[in-house]
Amino acid sequence: MTGERPRYEEPGTRGAATLRRPPSKSLALARLGRGVNRQWMLTLVIAVTVTAAGVGYDLSGGLQPLRSLIFWAPIGVAAGLVIGFVRELGRNTITSLSSFGKNRGYAILGAAPELTPRVLRQLPPDKRTPIGCLAFMPSSPFATAFRNLQSAIATDGVVAFAGAVANEGATTAAMCTAISASQQGRTVIVIDCDLRRRSLTRALGFDPDEGLVDACEEPSQWENFVGEEDETGVHFIPASRSRGPWRNPAAAPGFNELILRLRQSYDLIVLDCPPILVGADGAATAAVADKCVLVTAWDRTPISAVRHAMGALQRRPRAQTAVYVNRVPPEYRFGRLRGE
């Protein structure tokens, strides 16, 4: 024995990206910094309000303004800090893969690091995107995380990605998984199933007149509606500007036939679905998949939202469900799980 303290590793699905906990001091400082960034405005408003109210009260009694300010300013700042601290403690979000998976009983596919400006600066100016990171930095922790994710879904033909609420990174996760699978030699197509937001289509820089709804109307001619991403060559079916009544792709005539035809031509079909809790569209669309990946954001997505979203997905028993966590802070170091 060398006496060296073993490294802490977050358990999860074998082969997925894991998190190595940094020293407790740096972790605490990082959490404090994120908390300050979230609560500083509330703290400032409360501090100014309490100070102004106290000074105004004293002025009405004839007290000197400077003396009153010296007295009330620390009280206002203290009140703001206390309320901000209590509010921060009340945030029940994902901050540990092991405790989240163990306590909630959810399958955790892994985690992806946040793409910080420091990482993006290593790329050419016109390539500073998640797609650019996958294409030009294949050995980065970000690219490795999505290679591990696509390995975890290697036996699934249709995989749906959705967030519990909007802006959780589900579209980025769907596209990055598709690109990573393509880089590993699988034939892949990704479909923008969010007909309202069209996040995937916009992210790829397209605004087509025809898309998924048209492909559902003519599933035998689906090749006519397939585009190709310039950087990686991944195929996709965009969401066109809405012209008809269909807001839920799963309710559109021909959607199931389209998926069946695509299964015959591609190893992996990735569905970018609407947020689960925004409406019924997300869960209904994800029900056609072999597996649904609920994408969450580290220290942002409320656990209550994850619980409700998983409940909505699990009411449709066809698809297996799992959770993927993205935007993990850079102070966590990424590795691979060791075999048991």
What are the domain boundaries of the chain?
A: 24-89, 97-331
pTM of the model: 0.76
Predicted pLDDT at 71 = 87
DSSP H or E stretch at residue 306:
helix 303-314
Predicted pLDDT at 102 = 60
C-alpha span between 122 and 221 (Å, rounded): 42
C-alpha span between 244 and 213 (Å, rounded): 8
Q: What does the DSSP assignment read for 226-281? A: -EE-TTT--EEEPPPPP-SS---GGGSTTHHHHHHHHHHH-SEEEEEPPPTTT-SH
- Check if CATH label 3.40.50.2020 holds for domain 97-331: no
DSSP state of 318: T
Q: What is the largest CA-CA distance in the chain?
A: 84
**Residue ranges of the chain whose pLDDT lies below 70:** 1-35, 88-90, 96-104, 242-247, 316-319, 331-340
* Opening angle at CA 311, ends 309 and 314, nearest 5: 110
Predicted pLDDT at 245 = 52
Residues in Cβ contact with 2 at an 8 Å cutoff, skipping those fewer than 6 apart: none
CB atoms closer than 10 angstroms to residue 215: 27
C-alpha span between 101 and 336 (Å, rounded): 17
